[in-house]
Chain A
Amino acid sequence: MCLAIPGKIIELVPNQAHLGTVEVAGVRRKVDLGLLVDDMPVPGDWVLIHVGFAMTKISERDAAEQMHLLQMLGETEQAIEEVRGYGLDDSGSFRSMSSGTS
């Protein structure tokens, strides 16, 4: 129920309204686009393929946003620790040095 792979639509099959040829790392297969009738993909779009059917279009924007979030992981924490190291508390004001952490 879970094996679904991203593939790129290479072309729509002429005379077969609901079929497209999809390519995954150089492997090609005809895929049924019938579940995407509300927003039909065009050649160049990426779709998620499961048992020979396209389940959704892949959002390049969401993928990029996710990669960005992953790259940022831990960086907020690091920034906060760096700030603490200056003797600043979280609001940006100086603490008295005796109670500060190093």
Chain B
Amino acid sequence: MRYVDEFRDPELITKASEEIYRLADTGRHYRIMEVCGGHTHAIYRFGLKDVLPANIELIHGPGCPVCVLPMGRIDDGLAVAKNADVIFAAFGDMMRVPGTHGSPFEHKARGTDVRIVYSPADALQLARKNPDRHVMFFAIGFETTAPSTALTLMRAKMEGIRNFSIFCNHVTIVPAIRAILDSPDMRLDAFIGPGHVSTVIGCRPYEWIARNEGKPVVTSGFEPLDLLQSIVMLLRQLKAGEARVENQYKRVVPWEGNRAALKAMAEVFQLRPYFEWRGLGFISQSALKIRDEYAEWDAEQRFPIPGTRVTDPKAAQCGEVLKGVLKPAQCKLFGNECTPEHPIGALMVSSEGSCAAYYNYEHRKAALVTSISSVA
């Protein structure tokens, strides 16, 4: 696979790892946060921690849209769908996320029409193909995904497709990063910046992190060589006492972002005054809602929404893990009451949530003492 395989070259990975060992100051403990859930997933999937020195600690950030979605929003979306005619369409990521009365899949087993879609465009296509049914797309995601939802809405309006609506849960990444940095327990040295969000918003939105907080940021790709190269770039900055925003993912991320995508978002969405983030509480100007010009396609304006609010059990320490203050294994519920099969908190539900990633890829590896060498 082109533009993928080259960035998984084992020899170059070893070389990059050696460079990191060379650059890392043995007397120093580095705390680097990768904001994006996709990066968390990649780190575990490729076993990158095995090629990093012990004094580089990777802290998993809150960039997982499923993880930060309050349970009440799932309850609300499913409540709307229970109305017999509404098809609840969502990404596969959502299907096993528990609501108060079960996950979308569990609702499906009880008769709600729940469908997995790969794209909001597919949800719109469902509406075209089922003119006598209403299709509600339960939209999640940061700025990577919001433009696609926006374009889909614009197309729905242009074609006059009325049996379609969006239940919008899009959130924005910068307020989440701000919440991390504002947290008193936090001590971070640098950031591996979001990769695909940056294809839309560009690199400028992170400049305040370098300028005001004095932390280097490198926007990174998702292949092993991308992440390792980003760590090299961060270490070089830290060594030189610099704090800048750099773009490692140049082949795909434009510094200024994607104007057409930003335009589509501005056309369809506006910022909510505030929005509740699971684990982080209420954050102002951090989420998108559909503009009045598209009210007809806004599920929150077309259907009565219960406005459910659910508090997580006190024992679940999702907030602290989300902010990187605690490691997944340090939460008292981890691995006992809370596992991927019966998740209590959101971080165990999404496969890229720190707890699920750690559980699925790592927690039993601790028993392995000797280094793993190639088998065949």
Contacts and interface: CB of A to CB of B under 8 A. Distances in A.
Contacts of B121: 32, 52-53
Given A1-B144, A25-B1, A46-B2, A69 B259 contact: no
B63 interface: yes
Q: How big is the A interface, by class?
A: 35 or more
A52 B118 contact: yes
Contacts, number: 133
Contact of A63 (B194, B195, B251): B251
A97 interface: no
A1 B1 contact: no
B152 to A, nearest CB: 8
Interface in B90-136: 91, 118-122
A35 B341 CA distance: 38
Given A2-B36, A3-B38, A32-B151, A59 B251 contact: yes
B148 A52 contact: yes
A1 B118 CA distance: 12
A2 to B, nearest CB: 2
Q: Which 6 A-B pairs have the closest CB atoms?
A: A2-B38, A52-B119, A6-B3, A62-B251, A63-B251, A62-B250
19 contacts: A2-B36, A2-B37, A2-B38, A2-B63, A4-B196, A6-B1, A32-B151, A34-B260, A35-B147, A35-B264, A38-B260, A50-B144, A51-B141, A52-B119, A55-B196, A55-B261, A56-B252, A73-B229, A74-B18
Interface of A: 1-6, 8, 24-25, 32, 34-38, 46, 48, 50-53, 55-56, 58-60, 62-63, 65-67, 69-71, 73-74, 77
